[in-house]
Structure 1
Amino acid sequence: MAMEWSESLVSLCREMIRRPSLSGQEKEMADFVEQRMIELGFDSVERDHYGNVSGRIVLGSGGRRILFEGHMDHVDIVDPSKWTHDPFGAEVVDGRIYGRATSDMKGNLAASIMAAALIKKEKADLNGEIIVAGSVHEECFEGVASEAIGKRWNPDCVVIGEASSLNLKRGQRGRAEVVLETYGKSAHSSNPEVGLNAVKAMVPLLSAIENEFEPKEQPVLGKGILELTDIISSPYPGASVVPERCRVTYDRRLLVGETDTEVLAQIQKIIDEEKGRNPQLKANVSLAVGRETCYTGDSIEATRYAPGWLFPEDNWFVAAAMRGLREAGLNPELSHYAFCTNGSYYAGKAGIPTIGFGGSLESLAHVVDEYIEIDQLEKACLGYMGIIRSVLG
């Protein structure tokens, strides 16, 4: 392993960590990524209206286009006093780089940028294009900003650089945010009979959903999930007021093929059955809609629905990536992500052959004292280089 590029890679990762980049506040990080891509010899670098940064390298006479995507945003630091290392200090201790977004996922974005630059420098007999993209707003909207990247570049295959412990991920469950609302009639709580309590209308409905919802199951991805994550009445606080509205949010984890229409129909069926038992029930189910502002000033808006995806072991890209990783000296296992990623657009919506691969543990995302091991960072870079050689060779 060439220590010269290893030191450059560690330095690149640390510089990224020192630039906080909450969702919608990625500008400083984007500026840095753009400048480093130019310095490292990318043939062109550009941004889109959301603020995603894409760097392009053309090899030989061109050919297949492989896209490496890593998001530039990260979750917030809830309580800095709980960290023993400065979240944005990028301290190196015992072979680890500490800081917010080291594992999720600036380390692997740095590794993919470095891998592309090193491949170009090698002047190997390869034909094709490498695109490395730093995306925005992933922590809010999996796959939404990615659509702009995908439509700009139309890649033949995609590597999502989320942490995978250097294993090859060939799929993931999807995610939907389901909103259930019941409606009543407001009244003074000293005279409740003239009103209709929306919370009391919600309670039997929640019980019915708990008892009657049957998740589908698939051999690889397991069971779908429907988990209640919050409940709130309106008005709130309801001082001496019978609530006229109650809103519940469910986190719905999706299997391959579960559509937004199907997700809503499952709950609507239970609502309709409950209405048969309680004709007064007024209820509605929908998917949540998210709206945020990008650092460019553009709005980003989407229904909170990100489909699941899974490619067979003999898919050409899965096989090529596995071969490339092994030729790079790694020994990856084949598995799938437990969480949702930007692959929901590339694979789930666009049907583009996609894998996940990156250094670090999946369990280190969003935690206090997040870190990435330098050894994992180096091997991620070697792995990306191996995948490029395998696909474009």
Structure 2
Amino acid sequence: SLTLKRGQRGRGEIVLEAFGKPAHSSSPEVGLNAVKQLLPVLARIERDFEPETHPVLGEGIPELTDIISSPYPGASVLPELCRVTYDRRLLVNETEESVLAPLEKIIGEEQSANADLDARVRFAEAEETCYTGTKIGARRFAPGWLFPEDHWFVKAAAEGLKDAGIHAPISHYAFCTNGSYYAGKAGIPTIGFGGSQESLAHVIDEYIEIEQLEKACRGYIGIISSVLEA
């Protein structure tokens, strides 16, 4: 949208698991249905979770994105595992511990009321294989970040866009980007700039207008020139 981004909410992929005991579905009383065990916890999260709020970035909301039971398909078998994934938007200065703490509290309270509840919460982990064959793993925790409008890098980028003839309001991303590492973890001054609309990302028939693309290219040149002179 040709706006200059100075920050964003981050993203944490949270996995909530409950463990049961398999049994034939004709005799559920001899087993423990992991899905049913987890349902009260999910209801508590929907009802009681109060997201933190940042004056610029907004709320650190959790959104349930999938529920998986095992075995699947469960042909006349009580599920022994229920795994739920939440996409949690992260604010500036939130830590892995502070993000998990409210969920751990809810699980603990539910376990006090149900001795059979065996549940735990953690961040998902990812592993990728490099072209050399080396494997790299990490938890899916991408911090939020935000630089002040008067930060030298933000000001230099804004000046470069102005010199390129582009009116670029200073704003922030609604979604998560690789800036979570550069700015959120490594502390490297970071901005974002590009053409088209954020609302078009990850949709069918995503596109960018040629005029927006051409303006963005001029903007990149302007930003680079201005930053190198700063």
Q: CA deviation at 1:296?
A: 4.8
Output the amino acid matched with 1:264: L
SS at match of 1:187: coil
| Equivalent position to 1:191, from 18, 22, 27 | 27
Q: CA deviation at 1:350?
A: 0.9
Residue correspondence of structure 1 range 349-364 to structure 2 within 5 A = 349-364=185-200
| Equivalent position to 1:287, from 114, 118, 123 | 123
SS at match of 1:250: strand
Aligned to 1:215: 51
Do residues 391 (structure 1) and 227 (structure 2) align?
yes
Distance in 2 separating the partners of 1:264 and 1:187: 32
Aligned to 2:13: 177
Aligned to 1:341: 177
Q: Percent identity?
A: 72
| Equivalent position to 2:135, from 299, 304, 327 | 299
Output the amino acid matched with 2:80: E
| Equivalent position to 1:370, from 196, 203, 206 | 206
| CA offsets 1:352-389 (integer angstroms, 9 cap, x no match) | 11100012222222233332222222211211111122
SS at match of 1:371: coil
Aligned to 2:38: 202
Q: Pick 1 or 2: higher relative contact order, CA cutoff 8 A, min separation 6.
A: 2
Distance in 2 separating the partners of 1:368 and 1:204: 36
| Equivalent position to 2:151, from 309, 315, 329 | 315
Do residues 249 (structure 1) and 85 (structure 2) align?
yes
Q: 1:218 to 1:380 in 2, by over 3 A?
A: same
Output the amino acid matched with 1:283: A
Residue correspondence of structure 1 range 72-221 to structure 2 within 5 A = 165-221=1-57
SS at match of 1:347: helix
Output the amino acid matched with 1:254: L
SS at match of 2:205: coil
Distance in 2 separating the partners of 1:390 and 1:199: 56
Output the amino acid matched with 2:43: S
| Equivalent position to 1:380, from 200, 206, 216 | 216
Q: 1:364 to 1:298 in 2, by over 3 A?
A: farther
Aligned to 2:72: 236
SS at match of 1:252: strand
Distance in 2 separating the partners of 1:236 and 1:383: 51
Aligned to 1:274: 110
Q: CA deviation at 1:329?
A: 0.7
Q: CA deviation at 1:341?
A: 0.3
Output the amino acid matched with 2:3: N
Distance in 2 separating the partners of 1:378 and 1:235: 52
SS at match of 1:323: helix
Do residues 324 (structure 1) and 163 (structure 2) align?
no
Distance in 1 separating the partners of 2:200 and 2:78: 44
Q: CA deviation at 1:299?
A: 2.9
Distance in 1 separating the partners of 2:27 and 2:202: 47
Instruction: Name structure 2 gaps, 5 residues minimum.
Output: none
| CA offsets 1:77-116 (integer angstroms, 9 cap, x no match) | xxxxxxxxxxxxxxxxxxxxxxxxxxxxxxxxxxxxxxxx
| CA offsets 1:18-40 (integer angstroms, 9 cap, x no match) | xxxxxxxxxxxxxxxxxxxxxxx
Q: CA deviation at 1:216?
A: 0.4
Q: Please, which moves more after superposition, 381-390 or 325-334?
A: 381-390
Q: How many residues align?
A: 229
Aligned to 1:94: none
TM-score, length-scaled by structure 1: 0.56
Q: CA deviation at 1:266?
A: 1.7
Distance in 2 separating the partners of 1:347 and 1:213: 28
Distance in 2 separating the partners of 1:189 and 1:362: 47
Q: CA deviation at 1:259?
A: 1.2
Aligned to 1:41: none
